[in-house]
Amino acid sequence: MGRDVIIACDFASAEKTFEFLDKFEGKKPFVKIGMELFYAEGPAIVREIKKRGHKIFLDLKLHDIPNTVKKAMSVLSHLDVDMTNLHAAGTVAMMEAAIEGLTRPDGTRPLLIAVTQLTSTSEERMKSDLLINEPIDKVVMHYAGCAKRAGLDGIVCSPLEAGKVHGACGDDFITVTPGVRFADGDVGDQVRVMTPAEAKRIGSDYIVVGRPITAAADPVAAYERCCAEFIG
């Protein structure tokens, strides 16, 4: 498994996405397609980006009854993405069903990672709205353990938590970490941030970077800087 930079293509249309990707010319960065772009353009956008030679993380965060998730994952497996995800809150049974659905007849499948608690959920809200009366980091680590038990490949977490997750679940359990910012860059609405170099030191396997690249004056240079700090 290689460490890599994943660009969050948070665009509202195929046109804007291709306008952005065309800037990379010969380079083929690993890209994340989220709900906005997928719901706007459908599976065609996945096929088109794949055809252009990019690796794809399809970030749709599935969460439903096990049978429904299994069947949805089976559909996604035909899209030939490299990584996809679900909510660990759907239970171990749902995650096991997801693996079953995602696995192709030849035994291969995309990487499957779990979202634990969304970073937008505060401990206070988790207690009042979800009635979970445990410290949030304990909940995140518990969900990580459930994901591992279900046979998933890793979790989405803050780069600050990546070391702890590896300590508890093993070095080969993948940590995919958003919330990355350059030391001299804008933090925006992210609260707990880390530079690509720090994320590398702590042991993130993949960093998901959106605006520091997509909103940069020179996105290709920003991507290359990210790769140099995180991989190089």
Distance (Å, rounded) from C-alpha 7 to C-alpha 216?
Answer: 12
Binding mask 98-137 for ligand C5P (x = CB under 6 A): --------------------xx------------------
**Which of 74, 91, 122, 190 is the binder for ligand C5P (CB under 6 A)?**
190
Crossing angle for the helix pair 136-149 and 159-169, to the nearest 10 degrees: 50
Burial zone of 120 (CB within 10 Å; 0-12 exposed, 13-18 middle, 19+ buried): exposed
CA-wise closest residue to 58 among 93, 86, 32:
32
Using DSSP, how many helices (H) and how many strands (E) does the chain show? 11, 8
209 binds ligand C5P (CB under 6 A): yes
Residue 161 interacts with ligand C5P (CB under 6 A): yes or no: no
Residue 107 CB, nearest distance to ligand C5P (Å)? 29
Q: Is 37 in the site for ligand C5P (CB under 6 A)?
A: no
- By the 8 A CB rule, do 6 and 207 touch? yes
Residue 28 annotated among the catalytic residues of the structure:
no
| Catalytic annotation, pick one of 50, 61, 138, 164 | 61
Q: Which residues bind ligand C5P (CB under 6 A)?
A: 8, 10, 34, 118-119, 156, 178-179, 188, 190, 208-212
Catalytic residues: 61
